[in-house]
Structure 1
């Protein structure tokens, strides 16, 4: 169980956040604070695993408090504030997530979904910040079948029509829990002059832009947060936004272009690896390389099998180097993988594929 300190000057917002966070099995609000000075004492008293911080607070604004917190008592901090403060500054100051407060007339259900998605996607970071092992979930889900279950199948969002003629090479990567640091390790080793790379990482809303910039700063490859209609270029990579499905379409002139879908979650996620990989199979087919990296769950298994069957080159990260051996394991179980490789080898395999080589 991860403990949370909620910091907000509004009593009603503190109550709302407390109820919403407590509804998530892995999290419990241990205390709340009305301002930065109250929060400082509560942190000393309760030693929470995570704090949520509002920006607009009396006595000391949230950004100043965040900077002081990272300097004096570094710990995971999520900013929960108005959309107007969204930007990269809060991540540069040490925040690991951003959750915009509900706009006028917006459903509180959507706000609750943002909170849940953000916190659950940060559990891999929390494990590194706390010495406590999470307790079992309050309501464990019992599996009654060995079959993979999907709340929403990719067919409901993107239809399958596999490419039958080879096109230009393209590399697609899917990752989730543990993927942020693992992708950084891969990108640090990648040179220029590679085919375009597209990435779906399960990431909280508001964090994908900062993460794309972090990848860009640590690689010779130019990394973007994907936007609608971007033409894919060699030596460039495109990261799915934290609240949209990323897909790739092939134009009549043979160029690949990004398309963003604001639809329902697929395989429990948005963005979904299944959606990205299926679009790659539809547009690139056998000319694609798909890489399944560390992550919890089974997102990507359906579409990776489609890529495999269509002649694409598919690889999965091995158990020893995964933070969570979930998504790669499911892909392997589905016979959707040609090679199983260590994290340290992924960059080398990408480079070899870009040169027209595939290891046997």
Structure 2
């Protein structure tokens, strides 16, 4: 069977060697080229025509974001960034995702556990990248045409809370989904698979770009209309009821489905506090199955449920599993979801 091919781009030879060992530990993958800078990478790409590229966030001689913007229109392919967890590294990684990178792997700290985790994360994302249609990203960057089901002044939401779960491709999808949200919307809670340090910066970027307030959630915050609460990296986000009011709950219990934050944990918490019938839940692009069972639990308890369709997903994993087990009531393109939320929430 023909192996899938990768080019590894990093200015450190030792790092390239490590990544190559990790990749070729999977018999389905082969590293066909290495490069220490974007100019070498460009020549390798033209010659080798790889299926995927791994790219260091900090690149010499040319900014990595500039490289992606020049590369992808000419040679569309999944690009997996290798990112440090520093503030600068996190910021550049988020810019890389905006520029079309498929996903990212956080560089290991050097402990045996972090090395194993980074290797497993890379191999998982390499395999997920095979299902990536690069046209999905470029189409998602175009201006979206909305139907404007109801103007703000006509909408009175009956749902008390909106829940969103997302993973790979979610940073772009969330920006599009939340673009038309304002203070008429009920509280929105988001479980996006991200490590520590990423979520605060991601929330800050959304807050600066959107018309609604976006924050990284903290424990025991009263849920308020028009505010988007992003689950903090490496913590679960839940909804709890205190004196008949809804609050956030931040915990660091075990990972669920390999994730913390977990979409299932968020979704199930709403059922646990008896709010299923007064909620609306959305599952977006992402690999794996996190959120599918939680969405079904919500649906079975009276929640309205929406899943992103295959054609607009970067990775049709989580929404696919949710749809197949009967958890999704409405399966829609990304650009139609907000209007559907308005329609359902105001009935």
- Do residues 73 (structure 1) and 71 (structure 2) align? yes
The SS at the match of 2:109 is: coil
Change in CA separation of 1:293 and 1:168 when aligned onto 2, cut-off 3 Å: closer
Aligned to 1:272: 262
Structure 2 CA distance for partners of 1:271 and 1:42, relative to 1, 3 Å: same
Q: Are the counterparts in 2 of residues 114 and 205 from structure 1 also a CA contact under 8 Å? A: no
RMSD: 3.9
Whether the 8 Å contact between 1:286 and 1:312 is mirrored in structure 2 is yes
* 1:170 shift after superposition: 0.5
Which residue of 2 is the match for residue 232 of structure 1? 223
The TM-score normalised by the length of structure 2 is 0.71
Judging changes above 3 Å, is the alpha-carbon distance between structure 1 residues 112 and 169 closer, same or farther for their aligned structure 2 residues? same
How far off its partner does 1:339 sit?
4.3
Output aligned runs, 1:53-72, within 5 Å: 53=56, 55=58, 60=60, 64-72=62-70
- The alpha-carbon distance between structure 1 residues 329 and 89, as it changes in their structure 2 partners (threshold 3 A), is closer
State TM-score, norm by structure 1: 0.69
How far did 1:42 drift?
2.9
Task: State the partner residue of 2:180.
Answer: 189
Shift of 1:234: 1.4
Q: Which secondary structure state, in structure 1, belongs to the residue aligned with residue 90 of structure 2?
A: coil
* 8 Å Cα contact 1:124/1:177 also seen in 2: no
Question: Which residue of structure 2 aligns with residue 113 of structure 1?
Answer: 120
2:240–2:269: 8 Å Cα contact kept in structure 1?
yes
For the 8 Å contact 1:178–1:294, the answer to whether it is kept is: yes
Matched residue SS, 1:103: coil
Offset from partner CA, 1:33-80 (integer Å, 9 cap, x none):
34555445434433443232163x7xx36xx44144135424655443
Q: Which residue of 2 aligns with 1:4?
A: 6
8 Å contact 1:294–1:323 — kept in the other structure?
yes
Moved more, 328-337 or 251-260: 328-337
Contact persistence 1:22–1:29 (CA under 8 A): yes
Please show how residues 275-354 of structure 1 align to structure 2 within 5 Å.
275-283=265-273, 284-317=275-308, 326-354=317-345
Distance 1:319 1:68 in 2: 29
Contact residue 54 and residue 82 of structure 2 kept, 8 A: no
User: Structure 2: where are the runs of 5+ without partners?
Assistant: 138-157
Q: Which moved more, 1:218-227 or 1:271-280?
A: 218-227
3-state SS, counterpart of residue 210 of structure 2? coil
User: Is the contact between residue 38 and residue 67 of structure 2 (CA under 8 Å) also seen in structure 1?
Assistant: no
**How far has the Cα of 1:198 moved from its partner?**
1.4
In structure 2, C-alpha distance between the alignment counterparts of 1:52 and 1:188, rounded to whole Å:
30
Structure 1 residue 14 corresponds to structure 2 residue 16: yes
How far apart in 1 are the matches of 2:224 and 2:165? 19
* CA deviation map 1:310-340 (0-9, x unaligned): 2223333456665665544544454444445
Asked if 2 retains the 8 angstrom alpha-carbon contact of 1:193 and 1:235, the reply is yes
Q: Is 1:172–2:163 an aligned residue pair?
A: yes
